[in-house]
Amino acid sequence: MTALHVLDLVGIFVFGITGALVGVRKKLDVFGIQVLALVTGLGGGFIRDVLIGVTPPTALQDWRYLVVPIAAGLLTFFLHPGIGRVERLVNIFDAAGLALFCVTGALKAINAGLSPFSAALLGMISGIGGGVIRDILSGRVPVVLRSEIYATPAFLGAGIVVVAAALEYNALWVPIVAALICFTIRLLAIRRGWNAPLPRHP
Amino acid sequence: MTALHVLDLVGIFVFGITGALVGVRKKLDVFGIQVLALVTGLGGGFIRDVLIGVTPPTALQDWRYLVVPIAAGLLTFFLHPGIGRVERLVNIFDAAGLALFCVTGALKAINAGLSPFSAALLGMISGIGGGVIRDILSGRVPVVLRSEIYATPAFLGAGIVVVAAALEYNALWVPIVAALICFTIRLLAIRRGWNAPLPRHP
Amino acid sequence: MTALHVLDLVGIFVFGITGALVGVRKKLDVFGIQVLALVTGLGGGFIRDVLIGVTPPTALQDWRYLVVPIAAGLLTFFLHPGIGRVERLVNIFDAAGLALFCVTGALKAINAGLSPFSAALLGMISGIGGGVIRDILSGRVPVVLRSEIYATPAFLGAGIVVVAAALEYNALWVPIVAALICFTIRLLAIRRGWNAPLPRHP
């Protein structure tokens, strides 16, 4: 059970919570909520593993990867707060999942032998994949396309990990700090309503 | 031409019909209907094969896998009933496709060496994949998320096949009975309006 | 840098422009526009490479494949026309991307050893994949399902390449003419409002 495993499982757990919360908000039943928790928790990793040629994906080879999102779904089903506060919680847990997945995705891509720039891109794809699947399935505009800083902090977090690896500096705190930076920027962007430039509309 | 092949092709045929019927309902032209028949019939198997590392997917290696959904699409285009009765037929054929795909998906996953629990999960994913792609492409709420028993009978059908295989009991009637159980539960859930528990809304 | 590479990169560039233009139309910010340009430019190729078992996909192994859609997104962000003329430009560039991707997809499928019919089908999937992902992410009805000639010219373009390869006739003008035929039919279908037959509605 390496640090990479732990970060991966925590990422799956928090993404699973966001899927279940969106299911609660859409008034799905317990099974619909479980399905959303599973696909949101595992979706980004499935895309990542298929793209780097790791098949079957890790989540289908290790039972812990299945227990974690199911537990996240059940916990959310029984303990979720009132609907009014759901959306804010979705955003916070989603930021945590984004931060953890971009870092673990970049590490797995490096292990698979991808070049630094490609590894950073795959980290970003891993980070945004689960949320995109969750939002499309539940009929929301994908968060990555809404007018907020989302893909950029994921690319930044993945990039920090990739640069450290290219410099052969493999301390454990690098992925943790990279995830914290991604998480903090994403949360600040939500809280302060940061927006990136819009195109001119003549 | 094994029993697995036959079940697989019948599953593709009935899913192809559901895709074409949804196309008829959305008033698509003959090509849009063919595209929906193809992606609905082949989508679940593509996802299944990519996840277990069978590339190119079986459907791209065997021409029968392409003729079957095209035939389903053309048949539906020329012989479909009045719009009023389309939705009920979609549900029935979709239940049949779900039942057949969860069983063949589980069998293929076992052959690929997945653990029992993972094989049951992959069977479920194979079963629900085609319908999810069909519903997202045509702008419907995915049936797996609507308040009905859907993923659960697929997981049950796949589970029966997996348990029998784990006990090294490989009689031909096992997948057939497993598919019939999944199909019957799904149909009963539709007819009787069975619903799973909803989350509390304080 | 072979002819196949050049056609592939030009296809990614024009699809990237369509993604960015749709982002401009949906009033996304500069990052949302970049994400749409990337997934539209690279999506079809990702699906194609995963289906023929080329992992990691070419676009993750070669930095040029990443620079091209980013350049397309930035160019569109700064130079896009007034909103009123965006939709027409989307259609024209989309037709060009469709034509180029169906041809390069068919060539890659032949190189991967697929049978002629499967190679034509994979070419068609490559051609329509990027646009489907763009339209689903941005909440548009996928162009392939709207009542217009779309998948058919892609299948035709891919088919011309496949037939020439089966006859062992590998002149450079074959893919170029095949792409031009696909592009011309698609544009004529848009301009003249060609529609395929609709199902009877009794």
Per-residue pLDDT of chain B (202 residues; tens, 9 = 90+): 688 888 999 999 999 999 999 999 888 888 888 889 999 999 999 999 988 888 788 888 888 888 999 999 999 999 888 777 888 888 899 999 999 999 999 999 999 988 898 899 899 999 999 999 998 888 887 888 775 688 889 999 999 999 999 998 888 889 999 999 999 999 998 888 776 677 766 5
Q: According to the model, what pLDDT value does residue C16 have?
A: 95
DSSP string, A29-96: -HHHHHHHHHHHHHHHHHHHHHHTT-SS-HHHH-THHHHHHHHHHHHHHHH---GGGHHHHHHHHHHH
**C78 half-sphere exposure, CB direction, 13 A CA radius:** 5
Q: How far apart are the first and last CA of chain B?
A: 56
Model pLDDT for residues C92-133, shown as the tens digit of each residue: 999 999 999 999 999 999 999 888 988 998 999 999 999 999
Rounded-to-integer distance, Cα A181 and Cα A168, Å = 21
Rounded to a whole number of angstroms, the distance from the CA of C123 to the nearest CA of chain A is 19
Enter the tokens of residue A172. Answer: 């454990």
Cα separation, B59 vs B49, whole angstroms: 9
- CB-based contacts of A143: which residues, under 8 Å, 6+ apart? A94, A131, A132, A135, A150
Contacts of C51 in chain B (CB under 8 A): 46, 50, 55-57, 60
List, in order, residues 6 or more apart from C200 with CB less than 8 Å away.
none
How far apart CA B36 and CA B140 sit, in angstroms, is 13
Query: What are the structure tokens assigned to C171, written together?
Result: 């002149």
The pLDDT of residue A32 is: 82
Distances in Å between the Cα of B102 and the Cα atoms of A95, B123, B154, B159, B176 are 34, 4, 6, 9, 11
Q: Residue A177: its pLDDT value, please?
A: 95
Q: Is B66–C150 a contact, with Cβ atoms under 8 angstroms apart?
A: no
Q: For an interface test with C, give the residue of B21, B25, B28, B66 to mutate (most C CBs within 10 A).
A: B28
Residues counted in chain B? 202
Hey, what are C116's tokens? 């002629």
Instruction: State how far the Cα of C1 lies from the Cα of A159, in Å rounded to an integer.
Output: 28
Residues of C in contact with B34 (CB under 8 A): 151
pLDDT of residue C29: 81
The CA distance from B7 to B71, in Å, is 17
If interface means Cβ-Cβ distance under 8 Å, which residues of chain C face chain B? Answer: 50-53, 112, 114-115, 117-118, 121-122, 128, 132, 136, 141-142, 144-147, 149-152, 195-199, 201-202
> Tell me, what's the pLDDT at C117?
86
Closest A-chain CA to C139: A141
DSSP H/E element including C24 = helix C3-25
Q: Which residue of B118, B133, B186 is the best one to mutate when testing the A interface, meaning the one whose CB has the most A CBs within 10 A?
A: B118
Residue-level pLDDT at B124: 92
Which one-letter DSSP state was computed for residue B93? H
Biggest distance spanned by C-alpha atoms of chain A: 56
Give CA–CA dist A109/A120, Å, rounded: 8
| Alpha-carbon span B167 to C76, nearest angstrom | 60
Distance CA B108, CA B15 (A): 18
Low-confidence ranges of chain A (pLDDT < 50): none
Would you call A32 and B147 a contact, using CB atoms and an 8 Å cutoff? yes
The pLDDT tens digits of the residues spanning A93-136 come to 999 999 999 999 999 999 998 889 889 989 999 999 999 999 88
Q: Test C80 with A199 for CB contact under 8 angstroms.
A: yes
d(CA C152, CA C121): 11
* Contact between C60 and A122 using a beta-carbon 8 Å cutoff: yes
- Amino acid occupying residue B28: L
Residue type, B72: A
Say what the pLDDT of residue A1 is: 62
Q: What is the pLDDT of residue C201?
A: 62
- Rounded distance, CA B3 to CA A44, Å? 34
CB–CB of A90/A21 below 8 Å?
A: yes
Contacts of range A161-164, beta carbons closer than 8 Å, 24 or more positions apart: A161/A103, A161/A106, A161/A107, A161/A110, A161/A120, A161/A123, A162/A106, A162/A110, A162/A116, A162/A117, A162/A119, A162/A120, A162/A123, A163/A116
Phi, psi of C140 (to 5 degrees): -100, 155
Positive or negative: CA dihedral C86, C88, C89, C90: positive
pLDDT value for C1: 62
CA separation, residue B176 to residues B90, B196, C170 (Å)? 21, 26, 48
Query: Which residue of chain C comes nearest to B48, CA vs CA?
Result: C51
Q: Which of B29, B83, B89 to mutate to test the interface with C (most CBs of C within 10 A)?
A: B29
Q: What is the dihedral of CA A139, A140, A145, A151, to 10 degrees?
A: -100
- Name which residue leads in pLDDT, C31 or A132: A132
User: According to the model, what pLDDT value does residue C181 have?
Assistant: 96
What pLDDT does residue A58 have?
A: 86
Q: What percent of chain C has pLDDT over 70?
A: 96
Interchain pair B147, A29: CB under 8 A = yes
- Most C-contacting residue of A46, A48, A145, A148 (CB-CB within 10 A), to test interface: A145
Write down the pLDDT at residue C182.
96
User: What pLDDT does residue C19 have?
Assistant: 94
Q: What is the DSSP letter of C1?
A: -
Give the 3-state secondary structure of residue C31: helix
- Whether residues A118 and C56 touch (CB distance < 8 A) is answered with yes
Measure CB to CB from residue B53 to each of A24, A56, A138 and give the nearest one: A56
Q: How far apart are CA C96 and CA C10, in angstroms?
A: 9
Query: How many residues are there in chain C?
Result: 202
CB contact under 8 A, B141 and A139: yes
Q: What is the predicted pLDDT for the residue at A154?
A: 93
The burial of A127, by beta-carbon neighbours within 10 Å (0-12 exposed, 13-18 middle, 19 or more buried), is given as: buried
Amino acid residing at A151: A
Of A119-128, B143-152, C59-68, C168-177, least confident by mean pLDDT is B143-152
Q: How far apart are CA B97 and CA B44, in angstroms?
A: 10
Using CA atoms, how far apart are residues A14 and C151, in angstroms rounded to an integer? 40
Q: Which two tokens stand for residue A13?
A: 């757990």
- Alpha-carbon distance of A144 to B60, in angstroms, equals 33
Which residues on chain C are in Cβ contact (under 8 Å) with B137?
Answer: 132, 136, 142, 145
Q: Is the dihedral of CA A100, A102, A106, A108 positive or negative?
A: positive
pLDDT of residue C147: 59
Sole residue written with tokens 């369509």: C18
* DSSP state at residue B143: G
The answer to whether the CB atoms of B63 and C118 lie below 8 A apart is: yes
